[in-house]
Amino acid sequence: MSCAVDDEHDGRYRAPEGATGAKVLGVGNFGTAKLMQSTRTGALVAIKYLERGEKIDENVKRELVNHRLLTHPNIVRFIEVMLTPTHLAIVMEYAAGGELFNRIASKGKFSEDEARYFFQQLISGVAYCHAKGVAHRDLKLENTLLDGGAVPRLKICDFGYSKHSEIDSDPKSTVGTPAYIAPEVLKRQVYDGKTADVWSCGVTLYVMLVGKYPFEDKSDPRNFRSTITKIFACDYKFPSNVELSDGVKDLIRRIFVVDAAKRIDVSGIQSHPWFTTNLPLELLNVDVDVDESDMMTIEDIRAIVDAAKTPGASSMHANAAHAQEDIGFSGEFEGEFDDDDMHA
């Protein structure tokens, strides 16, 4: 598949060695993501291209600033952002293992040990985000990637709906993916994005264990109104044909609590006996020492995004952004309800 995207990066990135061109990793409303290679280090990177002009707004700036604040083994690393003649190019760590969603889809479900292995990493990354003041607000299997290792490491990605507790406005909009969304988010009132993240983590854990969404209407999986009704009622069951330990059932029950004030928080999850079983030592410490001497500054990011609001020399083909629909059956609000974000 070809895509009319300008790959000019002042010689810093090129198509991977031996390839006839840059591989397209994904195309969607967000733009186009391509696999490229750093000419300086030789490392493979993912570059997301957003067409310059009206698509570049304060939401894009917020996403990049929040992502830049986060450097953790379980978060896709932000590298830099650049201007090409036609696009804003966002350079990120390449996760060769693809989406966790695809791993689930191919296996049906995970064993409890495998689910715990990935859930421990997910919570480690989320705890770090929260410690840095960032709520993700769209945690789901499709936004968790895997590196290419034989024993894969989980990487959280896509901070497009993220909010910082000190920089951004208080969350009150309905954003995210219905199957994963917390009940308080659906009320269109101010809510705690971090507590809502915990609910989404619970949905991810349930799907890894069961292979189905907890609040999905089995007779009509794409009926989001029915899904939302079940979320408000916290109407879910543990299937009788799936063997689950009492420990993981207890943890899920503590997560799926409609009253957000009574829901277990990330620190509570981290101290839960089921979670701490076989916990890798490297996940015990949320604090990560980072050398920021060669990292792009927040000020530079803001300046480049502002410059990208000016249309480029030419534009990408109009239908490129719609060439591929979003994979998955969990649905997505895609931001049309995100009214408060325009005033962040």
pLDDT at 335: 39
| pTM for the whole structure | 0.86
Residues catalogued as catalytic = 138
Please check whether residue 5 lies inside any domain of the structure: no
pLDDT at 341: 37
Same domain, 164 and 262: yes
Same domain, 86 and 131: no
The CATH number for 34's domain is 3.30.200.20
pLDDT at 337: 36
At 190, the pLDDT band (50, 70, 90 cuts) reads confident
The CATH number for 263's domain is 1.10.510.10
Please check whether residue 205 lies inside any domain of the structure: yes
Same domain, 146 and 276: yes
pLDDT at 333: 43
Nearest partner of 201 among 136, 280, 151, 112, judged by Cα: 136
pLDDT at 171: 62
Model confidence pLDDT, tens digit, residues 8-26: 566 889 889 877 778 899 8
pLDDT at 125: 97
pLDDT cut 70: percent of the chain above it = 83
Owning domain of residue 190:
98-283
Model confidence pLDDT, tens digit, residues 95-144: 999 999 999 999 999 999 999 999 999 999 999 999 999 999 999 999 99
- What are the helix (H) ranges across the chain? 58-68, 100-107, 112-131, 193-210, 224-233, 246-255, 266-270, 273-276, 298-308
Same domain, 89 and 160: no
pLDDT at 313: 72
Rounded mean pLDDT, 238-243: 96
Please check whether residue 256 lies inside any domain of the structure: yes
Q: How far apart are CA 267 and CA 273, in angstroms?
A: 12
Phi, psi of 268 (to 5 degrees): -65, -40
Domain tally, the chain: 2
Model confidence pLDDT, tens digit, residues 42-87: 999 999 999 999 989 999 999 999 999 999 999 999 999 999 999 9
Same domain, 70 and 163: no
Burial of residue 133, with CB atoms counted within 10 A of its CB: 0-12 exposed, 13-18 middle, 19 or more buried: middle
Please check whether residue 208 lies inside any domain of the structure: yes
**Residues found in the chain:** 344
pLDDT at 166: 75
What beta strand segments (E) does the chain contain?
13-14, 23-28, 31-38, 44-51, 78-83, 87-93, 98-99, 134-135, 144-146, 154-156, 163-164
Same domain, 113 and 42: no
Please check whether residue 225 lies inside any domain of the structure: yes
Same domain, 155 and 262: yes
Please check whether residue 329 lies inside any domain of the structure: no
Which residues lie closer than 8 Å to 11 by C-beta, 6 or more apart?
39
Residue at a domain's end among 254, 283, 312: 283
CB 78 within 8 A of CB 132: no
Please check whether residue 2 lies inside any domain of the structure: no
At 276, the pLDDT band (50, 70, 90 cuts) reads very high
pLDDT at 52: 95
Same domain, 175 and 305: no
Question: 70-74, 154-158, 165-169 — which is least confidently predicted?
Answer: 165-169
Rounded mean pLDDT, 168-172: 59
Same domain, 89 and 109: no
Residue at a domain's end among 235, 255, 283: 283
Q: How far apart are CA 88 and CA 31, in angstroms?
A: 10
Task: Compute the radius of gyration of the chain from its Cα atoms.
Answer: 20
Same domain, 238 and 147: yes
Same domain, 59 and 187: no
Model confidence pLDDT, tens digit, residues 277-330: 999 988 876 566 666 667 899 999 999 999 999 998 755 444 333 333 332 345
Q: Binding residue per annotation — 61? A: no
Model confidence pLDDT, tens digit, residues 198-213: 999 999 999 999 999 9
Same domain, 129 and 262: yes
